[in-house]
Structure 1
Amino acid sequence: MPDSMPDTTDTAADGLAGFVRGRADAWLDAAVPPEFAVVPDGLTARDRQALTYDRLRRAGRAAPPAAELLDDPHALCALLERAAVADPALFHVMLLHYTLALAPILRFGAGQDGLDGPRERLASMGDVGTLLMTEAGRSNSHLSPRTTARYDAGTREFVLTTPDADAAKFPTNTGHPGVAKTAAVYATLVHGGREHGVFVFIAALRGPDGTPAPGVRIIPAPDGSGLPVDYAAVRLDGLRVPYEAWLRDGASIDAAGAFHDPAGGAAQRLTRSMSVGPAVWRAVVAACAAVTRASAGVLAAHSAGRVALGRLAPLRPLTDYRNQREAVLGALASAYALTAVAAHVKDRTASATGDGGGGAWAPWSAVDRDLALFKAAVTVRAEDAVARCRTHSGAPGFAATDRLNAYRGLAHAYRSAGGDNDLILFDTARAMAAGDRYAPPPAAPVPAGADPLDPGVWLGVAADAERRLAARLTDRVATAAAAGADPFTAWNANLSLATAAATAHADRTVLQVVAAAEGSAPPPVRPLLRLFALDWMESRAAVLLNEGAAASGLLDRVWEARRTLADDLPPGRAADLAAALDLPPAITAPASFITA
């Protein structure tokens, strides 16, 4: 059946649903029920945060055990996707709890005695897990935290200290005074007068009644609206934790006081301590795909049945206007394309090198360059897609509900959270220029005037741009080094080019996934995946033309192809594609106060 023909059979509907949901887990409806998509009016900031934590506990107790979730990327991502669509704040605290508090205990503390208590409190949702990693006063603080852990042999304890306000851990979700919190604290282990790298320590920050532990000072941040959680800075003033709270991952301090670490050095230890990253990046990619689906559903519902009163054609359906019709289809295209990327990363195993290399700006590329790069690419694409949905939903999209603003806030927040996108791109570019586990794509010239709907054309253009940018970057950095420039000077002069080269590499990687999905997706989805590629070409036209990867007239060809594709889609196809996104009724319901 040609892609442009309508297909309303049950088989087609099942195919669309399967493409969106992947594996269906029966427990999801109990863990994140539709009611979680509604937040009552009139709550104070603290009430709103308390509701989020109550829902986190309910979700955790209805979901499979934490250890099972963390061993099953599909199940964990399904839970986090559902949370993101219902409430981005719930997604954020849930991600921290599972992947950045519980996961280190299970990964680094396997077989250690003394961890049963915190592990059980977190797994049972008695305590909420949080993360103390980033420090407020210095950039790139993951590479060398000033928070220290010093071993006291007399008491067999570690003493955790933030030496000043610049070393305070921020942001953290520790501000609510009534929620028990257990933290994974990233600190530099100092012993025998030497620094031995970054390790994770488990510390109870707030007790069952919310009272901070001795040696813990929590400074709540002002209320914010981006992701409404209980942000706070945390300072540690001689916080004592037992030896068993050190997630030592094979390292030890023996009875004679000698330090041993099989990782082989501080750089390698940092990479291992940050190796929880892949679970975070999979979840962020999945959540960004989910909020893009929800945003597309909101825009489709807003546009359906709406008429325009413009004087050119009063009472014409809004989607008869190409700008709105193409906005709806473009949103659906982003939703389905990012869903394909999310499915890909859920199936992809981590590939940590363990060599400590690849991280001049941040540790993430040394952990898993490709997953970090997927995260950087998808957060930007999701934020752009959600922003367009908000714009094309008019005033109701901004004022009648905060949902689209919240989705955009989530995608925007994770451009920095989970590893800053710019730093990921810089380290990716550095590896490209050094040929560190990177080879430029082979040449595959695209003839002038080639059909931009052909996947071979998208990939050829993307590969050509990447190859040219990588070559220019490599040459510039090498030339600067040959002229005697130190690494900082050589790279600092070329950060814009480095960003463009790494972004081109990320684009090609994403487009390869989308092209592979286009060949096997249900027929109704295939035109959308081609539309996603057209939108990519339009968004990157300046770079493609600047690098000579596309001929003049590119935008005219893209616009013509998009018009043709949109005209070939049956009028009811957008509604069918939106219906398959599996959204709670509250997400796409009209503003209820209007009819109250």
Structure 2
Amino acid sequence: MDTAVNPAAAADRGLVRFVRGAFLDAEVRARLDAAVPDEYFTYPDGLTVRERQALTYQRLRAAGRAAPPADRLLDDPPALCALLARAAVADPALFHVMLLHYTLALGPILRFGAAQDGPRAARDALTGMDSFGTLLMTEVGRSNSHLSPRTVARHDPASGGFVLSTPDGPAAKFPTSTAHPDLPKTAAVYATLVHDGAERGVFVFVAPLRGPGGTPAPGVRILAAPETSGLPVDYAAVRLDDLTVPYEAWLRDGASITADGAFRDPAGTAAARLTRSMGIAPPVWRGVICASAAIARASAGILLAHSAGRGTLGRLAPRRPLTDYRNQREAVLGAVAAGYALTAVAHHVASAPAAAPAGAGPDTAWAPWSAVDRDLALLKTAATVQADRTVTACRTHCGAPGFAATERLNAYRGLTHAYATAGGDNELILYDTARAMADLDRYTPPDPGAAPGGGDLASLDGCLGLAAATERRMRDRLAARVEAARRSGDDPFTAWNDNLALAARTATACADRIVLEILRAAADTGPAALRPVLGLHALNLLGRRAADLLNEGVLPPGGLDGLGAARRRVCDDLAPHAADLAAAFDLPAPITAPTAFLADI
């Protein structure tokens, strides 16, 4: 296996074009790359925690001013995704605060406040990078807090504005990126609007939390969280003690309170209002999926560079190249294949048409996300899980240097762990997806007679057929178990609580099938060299799901051996091309092997 990493010029140009995507012209791409220059891929030594955080925000400000205007980026998903993906590869902390700033602070202003001209001063401060955007949504003391925040907003007839209040410590907003004492912060605050003694639904309010010098606004209490290395951002808990904001700070999305105090809302119900207010999620999910693809590619490149030309001293065969051992060969090629597969998913979501109107998704029980866009939320879970698996495998197969000689793989792993929960908890998304599947709520099971490829493991169609059959059988079994529980007198909680493990696996099977459909489409339209790489990823995906495939009778006894044999054949075919496959990722120059620092010795 030739693993010498060559310049991108040596790679298959079709693969390079595939990785870059066909959505951005060269001028825009160059501008986005320049917004996150190579120097952002490292930090100077010796910085304190607060100094490092300040530098992250300084880089965010510079990136925002160098990139196209924020409103243009938010109207151009491929461009915003490209900027976020490069930031994720450079520095996961920069990605995180950039995502918050654009999609979760500015996004609601532009989406919900455009018709009313929104809070102009806050919008100008955020678009000009004079203030950094953050989010106050999750409350620390209760799970599923998105469904019913205890932070409330009450209309003040005297001033015409609103008073935002957090009733107690458990209702404090956490985590928020608000701890740094010297930086200006503007927040999108999710609060339950209470009017005339009734809860009217969850709305977004814009609140400047820290002024130009970082001083908290009157009515804002900020408690810095303990330092963490997982995703090093300035986490804090925030309480609002009768914080007053003007009427324009209410991102009302067509709702209003008339002069005589009457409340009007086109959403109709508080539940529908929650879904509409959570409609800012699709740009978040697209950004997370594209970042997941980018760090998977970077991790694969790091592992390949670590493995290149590396000899071994094992007594079975001293001095054999490391990648002659199948565990390392399959790890390297599996990581490369995952990078290409996630890239296909990223292109799919970045270029997809606008989502259906909020509320077009299925009813939800655990979280609001599937009601906004079921498939996009589900792909976010699949992408973060796959990225985490890929980064972890690369770190493991880089040995001790993968842990101790570079922070990059550790930082990528911190990002994947964070976004298993951030942007919508993966498990809750799986549960709501499974509930919709069982109830046939805006879900159509795969046709049991339409298994393309006849289960042939040598083809993407065959892998897709196996995945679709597994999904169908698991969905039917889950629906039957829940229905039997209901008929026996169980309440909905008990009926579902006893089947959560099966529900999560069933929704995961649905995600597998959707991903494989995306991969098949990419293989059909992409360069010829792409098909065997995506085929390897399909085999790896089925291998991880082998227990369910065997349990549902989709694979016969011994089928796992067949998967293993197919994977070995594909890896042997791909091994001579490993360097070119990785070179086509066209990784930024600072992405190197873990022990590159030894060149200075």
Normalised to the residue count of structure 2, the TM-score between the two structures is 0.95
8 Å Cα contact 1:185/1:203 also seen in 2: yes
Say whether 1:122 aligns with 2:131.
no
Q: Deviations over 1:494-521 (max 9, x none)?
A: 1111111111111111111111112222
Q: 1:113 to 1:520 in 2, by over 3 A?
A: closer
Gaps of 5+ in 2: 1-5
CA distance in 2, matches of 1:340, 1:30: 24
Q: Could you say which residue in structure 2 is the equivalent of 1:4?
A: none
- Report the counterpart of residue 539 of structure 1 in structure 2: 544
C-alpha contact (below 8 Å) 1:98/1:129 kept by paired residues: yes
Q: SS of 2:223's equivalent?
A: strand
Equivalent residues of 2:362, 2:374 under 8 A apart: no
Alignment of 1:553-568 (within 5 A): 553-568=558-573
- Per the alignment, residue 14 of structure 2 pairs with 15
Establish whether residue 482 from structure 1 lines up as the match of residue 487 from structure 2.
Answer: yes
Task: Report the residue type matching 2:313 in the other structure.
Answer: L
Residue equivalent to 1:495: 500
Query: Residue 421 of structure 2 is aligned with which of 403, 406, 416?
Result: 416
8 Å CA contact 1:268–1:355 kept in 2: the answer is: no
SS state of the match for residue 172, structure 1? Answer: strand
Contact 2:329 2:575 (C-alpha < 8 Å) held by counterparts: no
1:35 deviates by 1.1
Tell me the amino acid that sits aligned with residue 309 of structure 1: L
1:390 aligned to which of 390, 395, 414: 395
Q: Which residue identity does 2:220 align to in structure 1?
A: V
Q: Give the corresponding residue for 2:174.
A: 170
Task: Write out per-residue CA displacement over residues 392-421 of structure 1, whole angstroms, 9 at most, x where no aligned residue.
Answer: 011111000011111111111111000001
Q: Which residue number in structure 2 is paired with residue 351 of structure 1? A: 356
Per the alignment, in what secondary structure is the counterpart of residue 275 of structure 1?
helix
Taking the aligned partners of 2:495 and 2:165, their CA distance within structure 1 comes to 36
- Supply the AA of the counterpart residue of 1:185: V
Which residue number in structure 1 is paired with residue 69 of structure 2?
65
- Using the size of structure 1 for normalisation, the TM-score is 0.96
Q: Percent identity?
A: 67
Distance 2:8 2:211 in 1: 56
Q: Is the 8 A contact 2:302 2:594 kept in 1?
A: no
TM-fit CA distance, 1:425: 0.7
1:36 and 2:40 are equivalent in the alignment: yes
**What's the offset of the Cα at 1:468?**
0.7
- The superposition leaves residues 442-492 of structure 1 with CA deviations (integer Å, 9 ceiling, x where unpaired) of 114769995312122111110111111100111111111122221111111
Task: Count matched residues.
Answer: 589
- Say if 1:592 and 1:575 are closer, same or farther in 2 by CA, change over 3 A: closer
Letter in 2 for 1:21: R
Is the counterpart of residue 518 in structure 1 residue 523 in structure 2?
yes
Q: Distance in 1 between matches of 2:92 and 2:266?
A: 39
Aligned partner of 1:439 in structure 2 is 444
Deviations 1:74-99 (A, max 9, x none): 00000000000000000000000000
Equivalent-residue separation in structure 2 for 1:449 and 1:366 (angstroms): 34
Distance 1:10 1:134 in 2: 46
SS at match of 2:45: coil
Alignment of 1:367 onto 2:372: yes
Deviates more, 1:208-217 or 1:497-506: 497-506
Point out the more displaced range, 292-301 or 30-39.
Answer: 30-39
Other structure's SS at 1:277 match: helix
Asked whether 1:91 is paired with 2:95, we answer yes
Asked whether 1:305 is paired with 2:317, we answer: no
Structure 1 residues 323 and 186, CA, compared in 2 at 3 Å: closer, same or farther? same
- The Cα shift of 1:284 comes to 0.5
Q: Which residue is equivalent to 2:143? A: 139
Alpha-carbon separation, structure 1, partners of 2:312 and 2:160 = 73
Q: SS at the partner of 1:26? A: helix
8 Å contact from structure 2 (residues 453, 459) kept in 1: no
CA contact (8 A) 1:12 1:522 kept: no
Deviates more, 1:352-361 or 1:549-558: 352-361
1:405 lines up with 2:414 in the alignment: no
Pairing of 1:151-550 with structure 2 (within 5 A): 151-348=155-352, 349-354=354-359, 358-444=363-449, 450-550=455-555
Measure the CA separation in 1 of the matches of 2:490 and 2:241: 42
Deviation, structure 1 residue 114: 5.6
CA distance in 2, matches of 1:559, 1:79: 38
- Uncovered stretches (5+) of structure 1, i.e. residues with no partner: 1-6
Equivalent-residue separation in structure 2 for 1:469 and 1:90 (angstroms): 40
Report how far residue 592 of structure 1 moved: 4.5
Letter in structure 2 aligned against 1:494:
N
> Residues 53 and 90 of structure 1 are in contact (CA less than 8 Å); yes or no, is this contact kept in structure 2?
yes
Instruction: Tell me, in whole angstroms, the C-alpha distance in 2 between the residues paired with 1:420 and 1:510.
Output: 19
> SS state of the match for residue 316, structure 1?
coil
Q: Distance in 2 between matches of 1:185 and 1:528?
A: 44
Question: Is the 1:37–1:584 Cα contact (8 Å) retained in structure 2?
Answer: no
RMSD of the alignment, in Å?
Answer: 1.8
**Residue identity matched to 2:429:** I
Aligned counterparts of 1:356 and 1:465: Cα–Cα separation in 2: 23
CA deviations over 1:326-383 (Å, ceiling 9, x no partner): 1110000000010001000112221244268512110001100010000011110110
Equivalent position SS for 1:189 = strand
Alpha-carbon shift at residue 315 of structure 1 (Å): 1.5
Per the TM alignment, residue 245 of structure 1 is displaced from its structure 2 partner at its CA by: 0.4
- Tell me, yes or no, if the aligned pair for 1:271 and 1:363 is still in contact at 8 Å: yes
Query: What is the alpha-carbon distance in structure 2 between the residues aligned to residue 338 and residue 356 of structure 1?
Result: 24
Query: 2-side partners of 1:132 and 1:335: how far apart?
Result: 33
Q: Do 2:470 and 2:552's aligned partners in 1 also have CA atoms closer than 8 Å?
A: yes
Paired with 1:304 and 1:168, the residues of 2 have a C-alpha distance of 50
CA distance in 2, matches of 1:170, 1:32: 28
Distance 1:580 1:220, change over 3 A: same
Letter matched to residue 19 of structure 2:
V
Residue 10 of structure 1, CA deviation: 6.8
Structure 1 distance, partners of 2:31, 2:453, is 52
Q: Distance in 1 between matches of 2:110 and 2:451?
A: 49
SS of residue in 2 equivalent to 1:351: coil
Q: Could you tell me how far apart the structure 2 residues matched to 1:569 and 1:364 are?
A: 39
Q: Which amino acid aligns with 2:18?
A: F
The equivalent residue for 1:3 is none
What secondary structure sits across from 1:429 in the alignment?
Answer: helix
Whether the aligned pair in 2 keeps the contact of 1:361 and 1:426 (CA below 8 Å) is yes
Asked if the contact 1:102–1:122 (Cα under 8 Å) also holds between the matched residues in 2, the reply is yes
Whole-Å Cα distance in 1 between the matches of residues 454 and 357 of structure 2?
Answer: 42
